Amino acid sequence: MLVYVSREKRPGHDHQKKAGAMNALTRASALLSNSPFILNLDCDHYINNSQALRAGICFMVGRDSDTVAFVQFPQRFEGVDPTDLYANHNRIFFDGTLRALDGMQGPIYVGTGCLFRRITVYGFDPPRINVGGPCFPRLAGLFAKTKFEKKTGWGKEIGWVYDTVTEDVVTGYRMHIKGWRSRYCSIYPHAFIGTAPINLTERLFQVLRWSTGSLEIFFSKNNPLFGSTYLHPLQRVAYINITTYPFTAIFLIFYTTVPALSFVTGHFIVQRPTTMFYVYLGIVLSTLLVIAVLEVKWAGVTVFEWFRNGQFWMTASCSAYLAAVCQVLTKVIFRRDISFKLTSKLPSGDEKKDPYADLYVVRWTPLMITPIIIIFVNIIGSAVAFAKVLDGEWTHWLKVAGGVFFNFWVLFHLYPFAKGILGKHGKTPVVVLVWWAFTFVITAVLYINIPHMHSSGGKHTTVHGHHGKKFVDAGYYNWP
């Protein structure tokens, strides 16, 4: 039996997008089949493996499975360019993070490719906590009409959660705090396959929506810090991470601009690195290395894919995450609502010559401002440092080289972004490098040739006003 349900959309009534659609479907299917399990797929995903359902059901009916609320499959995508310029495959997240969560209370719900136990959708507690009782949805209204939801728990205690731009994470969270578990199911051939936004603008908007949704959860009554004690302690840590990660933007923007700016101003935050500084640096770097090795090993990705994930993380963090933080703080402080747009679906019908033509479609968005600024700051910073060494103003060129390497490391991470905003021209990687080299040379030449921009010979006697007192910072400019 195949039944197509179209829920009612009434003017002046918020249809709650996907959450509204899922809740209407849940109510309608309760009358049609009331089957104990519900498979949820996005409109842009399809079933790729005929054994997928069986694999998922194994986790639902097997031994000790009565507390499993949902089985989450990884999201797989087709139509992504072979170099995966904007990390659409998101392999570290699906094959690393979700798999690792399976070792605790279970993966988070990511919106599609998910098999649910119907009774959990109705807000019931898992059997060990709730002793007995048949599970029939008292509040399940008839049909897909909006009026059936009025004065009911739909979208609050029951079903997919309303009034958020990402209903998925919070819907899964509400099940986990009741003590339900979830399981991760990854099979090959891939269970389900979907489409991903392959141009930069769409991708940034998608990440903006996800990061906004995550922060919204943090600033709501569903903050994982206050979730019930049924939440596994490490699962709570994971949820805190999932609902706060956009804040990394603030630190990242600091890290990616201040070192380069220091080359221009001559002020360095770390004046003379102490042994303790190197010890901390060593600990931090080796921790990062261990995480990297584990991620590559567990997620089974290549080192190239791993770098792609890092590159896109930096791009997203200094653009979309930053915007998400601003957006949500505005909402929390001024109570302004957040609008969002759906991820655009690939134009169907017309046979395109280049299947990845969409990759280089550039639509301007203010989200691109910060990464562009960061790119320029780092090129200009390195060029000024280079000019200072050439000019004899700075003599410790080896130390300068270390700093310039860091700036290039930042540029390396923003390379896919630069390639993306250059549009069609960016198809050849050389164009990006030529642009960067051009900016570098112009800055260095300007710096050397405009005399008032710098004082040569390394003798600095600038006087600064500081806390009302004047002091000559002698050692301050000694590095490098």
Ligand X SMILES: O=c1ccn([C@@H]2O[C@H](COP(=O)(O)OP(=O)(O)O[C@H]3O[C@H](CO)[C@@H](O)[C@H](O)[C@H]3O)[C@@H](O)[C@H]2O)c(=O)[nH]1
To the question of whether residue 42 is assigned a binding role by annotation, the answer is yes
Distance CA 370, CA 382 (A): 18
* DSSP-assigned letters across all residues of 312-366: HHHHHIIIIIHHHHHHHHHHHHH-PPPP--PPPPPPPSSPPSSTTGGGG-----G
Kindly tell me the burial class for residue 140, based on how many C-beta atoms sit within 10 Å of its own C-beta (0-12, 13-18, 19 or more).
buried
Q: Which of 182, 201, 206, 214 binds ligand X (CB under 6 A)?
A: 206
Pick the stretch among 274-282, 337-345, 403-411, 430-438 that binds Mn ion (CB under 5 A).
337-345
8 belongs to the binding site for ligand X (CB under 6 A): no
Place of tokens 């998101």: 90
- Judge contact between 443 and 386, C-beta under 8 A: no
Query: Within 10 A of 276 (CB to CB), how many other CB atoms are there?
Result: 8
26 by DSSP, 3-state: which? helix
Interface residue with ligand X among 43, 234, 290, 433 (CB under 6 A) is 43
Piece of 41-49, 123-131, 358-366, 466-474 that binds Mn ion (CB under 5 A) = 41-49
For residue 114 the two structure tokens come to 């998910």
DSSP β-ladder status, 77-78 and 37-40 = unpaired
Q: What is the dihedral of CA 317, 319, 321, 323, to 10 degrees?
A: 160
The reply to whether 171 sits near ligand X by the rule CB under 6 A is: no
Does 214 bind ligand X (CB under 6 A)? Our answer is: no
**Interface region with ligand X, contact rule CB under 6 A, candidates 148-156, 202-210, 360-368, 398-406:** 202-210
Tell me if 309 sits within 8 A of 95, measured CB to CB: no
The site map against ligand X for 123-162 (x = CB under 6 A) is ----------------------------------------
* 209 binds ligand X, rule: CB under 6 A: yes
Helices (H), 177-229: 200-218
State the DSSP code for 227.
S
262 or 343, CB closer to Mn ion? 343
Question: Minimum distance between the CB of residue 210 and Mn ion, rounded to whole angstroms?
Answer: 11
Note whether 39 binds ligand X by CB under 6 A: no
> Is the Cβ–Cβ distance between 249 and 211 less than 8 Å?
no
Residue 121 touching ligand X (CB under 6 A): no
Pattern 342-361, binding to Mn ion, x per CB under 5 A? -x------------------
How would DSSP label each residue in 118-132? HHHHTTPPPTTTS--
* Interaction partner, residue 419 (ligand X, Mn ion, none; CB < 5-8 Å by kind): none
Q: Which of 8, 44, 81, 125 touches ligand X by CB under 6 A?
A: 44
State which residue, 43 or 442, has the beta carbon closest to ligand X.
43
Exactly one of 15, 37, 44, 247 binds Mn ion (CB under 5 A); that residue is 44
- Contact flag: residue 340 with Mn ion (CB under 5 A): no
Q: Does 295 bind ligand X (CB under 6 A)?
A: no
Whether 15 contacts 7, CB under 8 Å: yes
Q: Is the sign of the CA dihedral 217, 219, 221, 227 positive or negative?
A: positive
The answer to whether the annotation marks 473 as part of a ligand binding site is no
Q: Rank residues 42 and 81 by Cβ distance to Mn ion and give the closer one.
A: 42
Q: Does residue 420 interact with ligand X by CB under 6 A?
A: no
Query: Residues annotated in the binding site, as ranges?
Result: 17-18, 42
Query: Residues annotated in the binding site for UDP-alpha-D-glucose, as ranges?
Result: 17
Q: Which residues bind ligand X (CB under 6 A)?
A: 17-18, 21, 42-44, 111-112, 166, 168, 206, 209-210, 213, 342-343
Q: Which residues bind Mn ion (CB under 5 A)?
A: 42, 44, 343
Query: Residues annotated in the binding site for Mn(2+), as ranges?
Result: 18, 42
